[in-house]
Amino acid sequence: MAFNELRAIATFIRAAELGSLRQAATAQAITPQAASQALAQLESHLGVRLFHRTTRRLSLTEEGSRFLEAAQPGLSTLQRALHGARRDREEIAGPLRIVASRSLMLPVLWPVLAEFCERHPEIEPDVQLDDRLGNWVADRVDVGFRAGTPPDDGVISRRLFPLQLVVCATPGYLAKHGTPRHIDDLAHHRCSGFRHPSTNKVMPWEFKVGAEIVARDFAPVLCTNDVELEANAVLSGHAIGQLVGATAAPLVRSGRLVPVLTEHVAEHLNLYLYYGSRIAQPARVRAFIDLVVERVAGNAAFFLEPHELKPRRKLKASGS
């Protein structure tokens, strides 16, 4: 339509309620001329006269009276819906749909979500664990987290921290099997393997060599698609593994694991937060994003700092 039907109907109803087109204009914060034009356009569109007009007052025609009776309840319902939508947008309550990878939800994101729910008991988290970036619109995702490369165009993303790939083992394993000094030494070690949950393929180990990232495949003595199980296998001394920094960092700091080949730690992957739009975000989504950034972005609890990656003293040379 060439005119705003909703505003015209609202103007008509206010004029009928107040008995004055000028007062209806004031109530709607528009000029009397705009109100008069809206009413004239509505009458033209409907093909009927809605008011008898005099210089002093308005009175409804028979057609206007019937139209008021039919339109008034509908407009009231719509106005309540608009008011409710605005209220919901500002309340930190209701469903919060989150998509995250299995490997990072528990160690990194769950403490933040738990704190958020403690602050805002009316929040209803709906968490989907998935390593793929799906159709966030169709899936009605509010906030997503992706490990690896930035999400595709169409979403707004923010880098939270680097996902280091750290080769590490227990002190007992290194004492028994020796410490690898070169990447090639790993071919003679008991390496763990990680099978990507989406593709079911065993992932190669990746290393920084100069300015490049080099991928290498090693025959695994244990293979799993679960990050926690792989970490437990390494912690048991069953294997040497390449673990993501968020998993490795606390275990290295506690002395349970020792990082090796630290000059080759790759940091080309990152954890990203993503969402659909900055415009008209519900308060609950904005507040959760703000808390995630505050608690997670650049948090060294989830990666090893340069001084922690300096070469360690010899434990026992690999038998090469």
The CATH class that applies to domain 94-156+271-297 reads alpha beta
Dihedral Cα 201, 207, 209, 212, nearest 10 deg: 50
Q: Is the pLDDT of residue 147 over 60?
A: yes
CA dihedral over 217, 263, 199, 129, signed as positive or negative: positive
Residue 10, token pair as written in the block = 């609202």
Domain residue extents for the chain? 5-90, 94-156+271-297, 165-269+304-309
Query: Which fold, 5-90?
Result: Arc Repressor Mutant, subunit A (1.10.10)
The predicted pLDDT at position 318 comes to 43
CATH, range 165-269+304-309? 3.40.190.10
Q: What is the mean pLDDT of residues 280-293?
A: 90
Band of pLDDT at residue 320, cut at 50, 70 and 90 = very low
The DSSP secondary structure of 102-122, one letter per residue, reads HHHIIIIIHHHHHHHHHH-TT
Band of pLDDT at residue 134, cut at 50, 70 and 90 = low
CA separation for the pair 109, 72 (Å, rounded): 48
Cα–Cα distances (Å) from 153 to 149, 157, 215, 268, 276, in that order, read: 12, 9, 27, 20, 10
State pTM to two decimals: 0.67
Topology match between the domains 5-90 and 94-156+271-297: no
Q: Which residue has the tokens 């169709």?
A: 138
The predicted pLDDT at position 138 comes to 44
Band of pLDDT at residue 85, cut at 50, 70 and 90 = low
CA separation for the pair 286, 272 (Å, rounded): 16
Indicate the average pLDDT of the chain.
85
**Phi, psi at 219, each rounded to 5°:** -65, 120
**DSSP state at residue 195:** B
The predicted pLDDT at position 42 comes to 84
Per residue in 37-81, pLDDT (tens digit) is: 888 888 888 888 888 876 667 788 888 888 888 888 877 777 676
